[in-house]
Amino acid sequence: MNGLSRRILAVAVTGLFGFSLPAAADTPKVVNARIIKLGKTSYEFQVTVQHVDASWDHFADRWEIIGPGGRVLGTRVLYHPHIGERQFTRKLRGVTIPEGVEHVIVRVHDKLHGYGREKLIALPTGKSRDTGFK
């Protein structure tokens, strides 16, 4: 059953019976992120994504690091669905973030809904090279 068929069925069930079917897969969201400083402007990101991947047509296919002005600073492509995994963590190494930037946004994308819930993350400061999971 494709996405359009599921939506039509959900509308029909809601109209006939007064309740809705649960979504086969929700919009994706970033639930945790960890940032490790590798060098002066180089970072590693470890990001936990929550999404119920349903098929090759509907799965979380990437997450991105967004800097000032909406500029994409790094992209981690997810090449296949993670069916059966509600959450999964992947890393991206060597993301260059300009000096002086204190926060970035991590956002996730899926093939059906587009961008999901994003997370604002502070970069490591002072002597700390690692934010831990937030």
* Sheet with 29-37, side-by-side order of all strands: 29-37, 42-50, 87-96
35-53 average pLDDT score: 91
The per-residue pLDDT for 69 is 92
pLDDT for 134 equals 67
Each residue of 98-122: pLDDT tens digit? 999 999 999 999 988 899 888 898 8
pTM here? 0.76
In the chain, what are the domains? Answer: 25-122 (2.60.40.150)
Nearest to 44 by CA among 125, 128, 123: 123
Q: What pLDDT is attached to residue 20?
A: 37
- What does DSSP assign to residue 69? G
* Mean pLDDT in residue range 7-33: 55
pLDDT, position 101: 92
Q: Given a cut of 70, is residue 4 above it in pLDDT?
A: no
Residue-wise pLDDT for 55-99, tens only, equals: 888 888 899 999 999 999 999 999 998 888 888 899 999 999 999
- Nearest to 59, CA basis, from 125, 3, 118, 128: 3
pLDDT band of residue 7 (cuts 50, 70, 90) is very low
